[in-house]
Chain A
């Protein structure tokens, strides 16, 4: 009983102690709350500062990049620009007051391709991103190539509120690409003209032989008839003048396609190979092939005609690529240069393609011999005559494992020997 009472008392005491503690806690809570309030304020200020800093950094970053960045309001129907960075102004040539609040698409000017603009609008209106390269005009009418990307920006509910765009000036890259394309086209053109000239020259020779015979037959007959048979004499004269007419056609054709005289200069064959491969790189990449080099960097200069030797290299590489076209396993084309003797260098183009059938080996360099359905059979024969005109030799062999190797030698530039 006593014990129970005691326990009750202690409980009471405990309760009062608890009450007492509660009082203390409340006081502390009040202070804490105050502190919390202050902290919150601090935090709020901090957050705001951080947020501001973030905005500041992002804005600075957007201003710092060399691409033109712009933001359009998606709520307005006519693509009002609400922000553009400095690069956007310098890229387009428009000033801030001509840009902000204006319809982005009006900045394209009157030269713009309306179909493309419509396509861009439709794409982004449907919530998709646009990506495309096009020719644009600056405010002053100057042309430039622009790579444009526009992406929609959505709010938390997924509604498109803005579009953000990035414009990159690709004029320089484009120019380089175009230059490569132009150089390749020029080389191919020279090659085609060369083939045609070679073709015409062969044809002219083949036709000149019977024309020679016809002329001599007719003139022999004229002499045999002497002053007899005036009608036959007249006919013979017609034969002779028509023969002359055909000769004249051939003469004109020949002079039209006169083979250009080579211009010799000291050349770095390694650089020439690299240049030629650069011209073909797009083609090589599309075919999913790889070019490897084993170039002897200590090679002396050679004496040659740049365009003609490029034609040869281009022809050998094209042939190798074609030999590897069918098989996706054969991917590697190896170009090697080495010094063969003190006065000769050697260039090898080694493929891992189908190789050359033994029966074709001897005919490879003969005019009009081709194993290709659309080939003219001029490439290798011209290449060989070019190399021989340079004092070298061009030949081919099958590799022991796979594919074939075409190789040519060239004499070292005597000035540089």
Chain B
């Protein structure tokens, strides 16, 4: 079963993305903060992490950095903000991909397809 972890401080976004990914056949767990995710999910459990960038506490960038150091977990960053070059930056810091909110389901499915192909 392909597992994905979604971290977003917006409850409705979490719920919608869980419904969508489950409908697409993924096993999905959601968290309201990066801290919560790190507290619950050990580095040893496989799965792709989808991280919102702007969150209270640990930001998406910070969390990605930690994941990078601790495991080989693929990370997808996403943001509703459109300042600057998030996509390039996400690439630079070693994230698997970047999603500009709001995004179409196909965009997400394609990206996840590539994650689990590897």
Contact = CB atoms under 8 A, between A and B. Distances in A.
Contacts of B82: 204, 251, 254
Interface stretch (B31-39, B69-77, B101-109): B101-109
Q: Which of A211, A213, A217 has the most CB of B within 10 A?
A: A213
A154 interface: no
Contact of A213 (B12, B23, B24, B83): B12
A81 B22 CA distance: 96
Interface stretch (B13-21, B58-66, B110-118): B13-21
A208 B101 CA distance: 7
Interface string B70-95: 00000000001111000000000000
A205 B101 CA distance: 9
Contacts of B19: 216-217, 220-221
A213 B15 contact: yes
B102 to A, nearest CB: 4
Interface in B1-48: 10, 12-13, 15-17, 19-20, 22-24
Contacts of B101: 208-209, 211-212
B21 to A, nearest CB: 8
Interface in A192-209: 201, 204-205, 208-209
B80 A205 contact: yes
Contacts of B80: 204-205, 208-209, 212
Interface residues on B, range: 20 to 34
Given A219-B20, A247-B102, A213 B81 contact: no
A220 B83 contact: no
B103 A212 contact: yes
A221 B83 CA distance: 31
A74 B82 CA distance: 74
Interface in A226-283: 243, 247, 251, 254, 259
Given A201-B83, A208-B80, A209-B80, A219 B12 contact: no
A254 B80 CA distance: 12
A182 to B, nearest CB: 31
Contact of B105 (A210, A214, A219): A219
A217 B105 CA distance: 10
Contacts of B54: 205
Interface string A15-30: 0000000000000000
Contacts of B24: 223
A213 B105 contact: no
Given A216-B20, A223-B23, 17 more contacts: A201-B81, A201-B83, A204-B80, A205-B54, A208-B80, A208-B81, A209-B101, A211-B102, A212-B10, A212-B103, A213-B12, A215-B104, A216-B19, A217-B20, A220-B23, A223-B24, A247-B102
8 contacts: A204-B80, A208-B81, A212-B10, A212-B13, A216-B17, A220-B23, A223-B24, A259-B83
Task: List 10 A-B pairs, minimum CB-CB distance, nearest first.
Answer: A208-B80, A216-B16, A212-B102, A220-B20, A219-B105, A220-B19, A223-B23, A213-B12, A213-B16, A212-B101
